[in-house]
Structure 1
Amino acid sequence: MSHTLRFGTTLLAVLLGTALAQGGLEAHPMSIEALRQGSYPGSAITLEQTLAPGANYRRYIASYRSEGLKIYGLLTVPNGARPRAGWPAIVFVHGYIPPAQYRTTERYGAYVDALARAGYIVFKIDLRGHGNSEGTASGAYWSPDYTIDTLNAFASLRRFPQANPERIGIWGHSMGGYLALRAMVVEPRIRVGVIWAGVVGTYEDLLYRWRRSPPAQLPPGALRRRELFLARYGSPESNPGFWASITAHNYLERVGPIQLHHGLADTVVPVSFSQRLAQYLRAAGRPYELFTYPGNDHNLSQSFSLAMRRSVAYFDRYLKR
């Protein structure tokens, strides 16, 4: 995408946002302006079950409320006396896992452990329709539901007595990176974000530059929802204002610092997605870091320890200092 097109679509998004604010247009539920106008009160976090502890932290199955739905997650809390202002905290958003196969305590164990050991409350949320969470698993890219769950998780952490409400960041992998980015452009109080192998391309990227392999990576109904969107709203070329309005890249003016990680051998999500977001962040004058890893797959398996050390250091910089 050229600089001319990028700033052109940004201008379209700004004009569209102005019209929405003045009541001249009805915001689509997927648009950033509609999400910014929404309410995400979260709820008290309920400790549902105590699990075996980690090395220096406690583990729980916990729940919160999102649009009236009971959403579960894995919650860790550091051992020791609570700091006067509370512990720094991280909303942890997982990548795509078939909802019927998802289990709260399975997968991402090493990721959560590394962040929890570093002295953070970590809340790995399940999203609606996953595991025991109520609601229907609607997918991330053509519905606002998962973004709303993420925003309500952030609000719930702010209400959690052990957490410092002013020092909360977000971590996302793959699909979770898409949700983390959208949550950050909607909610500027999210202090910092770290995204691994994120689906953080523009909607033009998602539509035309994403060949996912194997086909099992596609959530049920994703292609149909994509085609319904195109049939109803037209292509980005024929209806650029609409597609600009739902693309987070055009609303980076309030976003906090973001650190991006991507493997150069990733066959699931193109590294160009992270590189493109870095270009947008640089153009918007927002702080960011981009790390790429030669020979690394979608999970950064070959450089996991290095990528995690960098992630913890980035969170420390903005949440502990």
Structure 2
Amino acid sequence: MRRPLQLGLLLLAGGVGYVALTGPERLPFGGPWSQTRTAPAGEAQAPTPDAAPTPFGEVTDAALQRLVAREPISLQALRAREYPGSALRVVRTLAPGVNYTRQVVSYASDGLTIYALLTVPGGTPPPGGWPAIVFNHGYIPPGEYRTTERYVAYQDAFARAGFVTLKSDYRGHGDSQGTAGGGYNDPGYTVDVLNAAASLKRDPRVNSRRLGLWGHSMGGQLSLRAMLVDRDLKAASLWAGVVASYDVLATDWGRAPGQEKPVLDPLNRRYLRALSPNAALDDLNGRPLQLHHGTADEDVPYSFQRALADDLRASGQSVEAYRYEGDDHNLSGNLGLALRRSVAFFQKHL
């Protein structure tokens, strides 16, 4: 799953400047990043308008956090927003699954109409309603995306097991309104995921205290960030997730053989780390994550899962991490096993 992507991140070297970076899916931090300069010794910069100039490299944590909070993609900015969602409106009823219904629905997000694929178990809901999973797909070219295509077997496994699932298209995908801005520096997809969760909470068939997330590739990044924004999301299963810290993505993701590796100065590395969901894992407060990754993944390296699992354990969080030797980005060789593990995980935690 490769994709063209435009990624802009705030770099601090030489003052605050916005650098737009372009490249294919595996090179979202490519382009001119390596041109980042190191400020000369003694050069001063003011990280915030109300702060005294601070020598480069000696910015306080508080000043750094104020800079991070200005970024719309930051957890601070996302937590300051509201996610009301809306009632799920049925657009089209599809052929049912084995023991569940399938419908194309729409919901409201940021004033936009977003389409999604909804599955609901047949029969009478249990007391309190069905458990539900917000299903977050990986990158598919937005112009090629169709609500009813891709991830059919994945969604089917959870639907058969008695979970409501809602796979959001995200803005700019298929018939959904809005602009597809990417999943890493633009908050739009994360906002759509959070409003999808809010819309499920409104549904009387759903138990709002039993909500989880499933995410693949880019959807793994969206799921991790959404879980750190909305504390009602109880558990997440991430497959081949782009879950490394932004400083690692900036330097270590998708470098072609022989291509020079960009170098970040210490301040920019601190800044990108602070901007990443990985810097706030304490805020999970014990809510569990499950990780799946193939060692032969050519799109998202297995090292991303290993680094996140290490960070989660260091933070005292609950994590299951599964390594699939020689498997690819879609876990094609172990799909049934990985799905059974994910279903069992949600049966335990939702």
TM-score after normalising by structure 2: 0.78
Pair 1:15–1:244, CA change in 2 (3 A): farther
Q: 1:75 to 1:236 in 2, by over 3 A?
A: farther
2:309 matched residue in structure 1: 278
Is 1:253–2:296 an aligned residue pair?
A: no
Superposed, 1:71-220 pairs within 5 Å as 71-211=114-254
Give secondary structure in 2 for the equivalent of 1:265.
Answer: coil
Q: Is the 8 A contact 2:247 2:273 kept in 1?
A: no
Cα–Cα, structure 1 residues 297 and 76, in superposed 2: closer, same or farther, change >3 Å? same
CA deviations over 1:66-122 (Å, ceiling 9, x no partner): 100000010000000111200000000000000011000111000000000000000
User: 1:164 and 1:101, CA in 2 relative to 1: closer, same or farther beyond 3 A?
Assistant: same
Count residues in correspondence: 285
Secondary structure, in 3 states, of the residue corresponding to 1:191? strand
Greater fraction strand: 2
Inter-partner Cα distance in structure 1 for 2:118 and 2:108: 15
Amino acid paired to 1:248? P
Moved more, 170-179 or 181-190: 181-190
Q: Report the CA distance between 1:210 and its aligned residue.
A: 0.9
Q: Distance in 2 between the 1:29 and 1:245 partners? A: 14
Q: Deviations over 1:186-206 (max 9, x none)?
A: 112100000000000010121
**Alpha-carbon distance in 1 for matches of 2:63, 2:133:** 32
Task: Report the Cα distance in structure 1 between the residues aligned to 2:84 and 2:271, rounded to whole angstroms.
Answer: 28
Q: Distance in 2 between matches of 1:143 and 1:183?
A: 13
In the other structure, the counterpart of 1:309 is: 340
SS at match of 1:276: helix
Residue type of the alignment partner of 1:254? D
C-alpha offsets along residues 21-75 of structure 1, whole Å, 9 cap, x if unaligned?
Answer: xxx9862212111111111111111111110000000000011111000000100
- 1:85–1:26: structure 2 CA closer, same or farther, 3 Å change rule? closer
Pair 25,97 (structure 1): closer, same or farther in 2 beyond 3 Å: closer
Report the CA distance between 1:261 and its aligned residue: 0.0
Pairwise CA distance, 1:138: 0.5
How big is the shift at 1:208? 1.1
Tell me, yes or no, if the aligned pair for 2:245 and 2:272 is still in contact at 8 Å: no
Q: Tell me the distance in 2 between the aligned counterparts of 1:28 and 1:98.
A: 25
**Distance in 2 of aligned mates of 1:57 and 1:139:** 32
- Give how far 1:235 is off: 4.5
Percent sequence identity over matched residues? Answer: 51
In the aligned structure 2, how far is the partner of 1:296 from the partner of 1:37?
40
The match for 1:223 is none
User: Alpha-carbon deviation of 1:254?
Assistant: 2.4
Q: Hey, what's the Cα distance between the residues in 1 that align with 2:265 and 2:87?
A: 41
Match of 1:53 among 78, 96, 99: 96
Matched residue, 1:44: 87
Q: Which residue number in structure 2 is paired with residue 225 of structure 1?
A: none
Task: Give the match's secondary structure for 2:312.
Answer: helix
Distance 1:85 1:16, change over 3 A: farther
1:263 aligns with 2:294: yes
Contact preservation (8 Å) 2:157, 2:339: yes
Amino acid aligned to 1:121: V
8 Å CA contact 1:16–1:245 kept in 2: the answer is: no
Quick one: distance in 2 between partners of 1:25 and 1:266?
A: 31
CA contact (8 A) 2:115 2:176 kept: yes
Normalised by the length of structure 1, the TM-score is: 0.84
Q: Secondary structure at the match of 2:250?
A: helix
SS in 1 for 2:233: coil
Unaligned runs of 5+ in 1: 1-11, 214-229
Letter in 2 for 1:107: R
- Offset, 1:171: 0.1
Which is helix-richer, 1 or 2?
1
Indicate conservation of the 8 Å contact 1:61/1:75, yes or no.
yes
Distance 1:250 1:195 in 2: 18
Q: Hey, what's the Cα distance between the residues in 1 that align with 2:268 and 2:248?
A: 16
**CA 140–32 in structure 1, closer or farther in 2 if over 3 Å, else same:** same
SS in 2 for 1:239: helix
